[in-house]
Amino acid sequence: MKIILYVTGSISCYKSIDLTRKLVNDGNEVSVVLSQGAEKFLKVDLFLYLGARNAYLAEDDFSHPSNEIKHIELARWCDYFIVCPASANTISHLANGLTKDLGTTIFLALASDKKKLIFPAMNTLMLENKIIKENLLKISSIENTHLFPTQRGTLACGEEGAGKLLEVDVIHHLINTWPITPSAKRNILISTGASIAPLDDVRYLTNPASGKTGLKLAEKFLRNGHHVTLITGIYSSELFSNICHHPNFKLITAKTSEDYLKVTRENINQSNLFISAAAICDIAFDYQNGKLKKDKLSSTIDISAAPDVLKEMLKTKRDDQGFIGFAAESKLNQEILQQKWQSKKVDLLIGTEVNSGAFSKEETKGFRKDEANYKIFEDQRITFSGLLNKTQLSEIIFEKAQKWLS
């Protein structure tokens, strides 16, 4: 991508250094433009050392060796125009079509299809000022412009409240998952992570599923303009904190298998594609209030079958919906996957070789790892078998899912 990063005079402008480094390391072409306020804190050459294509000062001459006007040239060149941080002063200029420097002039020259992402940072009282609120609304109404929220915390002035710039990792993730094309507006439902089966108020049964597969899938579909609703276990919800501010992303947490069933049922009808990647517990206990005491424990514990979420959802499947299932097993072969598919006839079945590593001599496989051995089962046969990282797996699933998204 070709990115213009317009850095303005908030005290948090120092964070643009780390953001530039991350964007350059991703392979993007980055041109940095500083406002006069930002120049008081930062040296323009620093961004060149970080790998920026160019770096400009606020009052740089608009002339260019090629005789092109600089703000027009840059406006044509970029794919993304990112303001980070966006001060109250800059927001007022952008909202009212006023120019004070190279950055605000580029903004006026951007074609309507250019993506404009704005990350504000200012004092809480400034953020709550009626004039700023009106200007934020004006900016939000501009085509292909998205204004992200601030976070609460300790501000540079020492006060506590809203107005703090989002963390750099969050901003980086939001830029990386922003649609590269106009939104396709297909609805993707993904379940991921692990459920728990509570025994009493203290103990529960679960597995080490991290939710990483769901994260990579969500990022891939968001990046391609789709709306993603993701259901995850309570102990993996923090994994998705970096994309929770994405306007096309909705996060739902679930504890038990029953919770997964309930929220999946509530969201399945409006979904074009359901990817059942969660490691949902197969069993349930007769739950006991309080903590079971040692002298009350016997050598056996009564268990029952927990709801099979995917099997229940397949009963409601429409012809225009795609269902992708996951099968996590310690050993995988054609016979096992055929049996899995006969039980739950999904459109695509992803077999994952897993081992918790808790008691066996084998190392942990699949769980909490960035790669695993996968077998892809479709048309009642294995069409792929091998080692993939979760990014590669998400790309394969995305390509195979196009039949339900076009």
Residue 283: CB atoms within 10 A of its CB come to 12
Task: Tell me the C-alpha distance between 28 and 21, whole Å.
Answer: 10
Helix residue spans in 224-314 (DSSP H):
257-267, 309-314
Task: Tell me the C-alpha distance between 375 and 396, whole Å.
Answer: 12
Task: Tell me the C-alpha distance between 274 and 170, whole Å.
Answer: 26
Per-residue DSSP letter, 332: -
- Residue 26 DSSP SS3: coil
Task: Tell me the C-alpha distance between 345 and 379, whole Å.
Answer: 10
Q: Which pLDDT value is given to residue 234? A: 92
What's the per-residue H, E or C state across 352-397?
EECECCCCCCCCCECCCCCEEEEEEEECCEEEEEEEEEHHHHHHHH
Task: Tell me the C-alpha distance between 79 and 86, whole Å.
Answer: 19
Q: What is the pTM of this model?
A: 0.90
> Cβ-count burial of 27 within 10 angstroms (0-12 exposed, 13-18 middle, 19+ buried)?
exposed
All domains of the chain in start order, with CATH: 2-176 (3.40.50.1950), 187-405 (3.40.50.10300)
Angle, vertex CA 21, rays to CA 18 and CA 24, nearest 5: 150
Residue 111: CB atoms within 10 A of its CB come to 10
Residue 261: CB atoms within 10 A of its CB come to 20
Contact 247, 273 (CB under 8 A): no
Per-residue DSSP letter, 237: G
Mind telling me the catalytic residues? 157
Task: Tell me the C-alpha distance between 330 and 340, whole Å.
Answer: 14
Q: Which pLDDT value is given to residue 63? A: 47
Q: Which tokens sit at 115?
A: 């993506």
Host H or E run for residue 231? strand 227-233
The structure tokens 């072969």 sit at 333
pLDDT tens by residue, the chain, 406 residues = 999 999 999 889 999 999 999 999 999 999 999 999 999 999 999 999 999 999 999 988 554 555 568 899 999 999 999 999 999 999 999 999 999 999 999 999 999 999 999 999 999 999 999 999 999 999 999 999 999 999 988 777 778 888 899 999 999 999 999 998 766 789 999 999 999 998 888 888 887 788 999 999 999 999 999 999 999 999 999 999 999 999 999 999 999 999 999 999 999 999 999 999 998 988 888 888 888 787 767 767 788 889 999 999 999 999 999 999 998 877 888 888 999 999 999 999 999 886 555 566 666 554 556 788 899 999 889 999 999 999 999 999 999 999 999 8
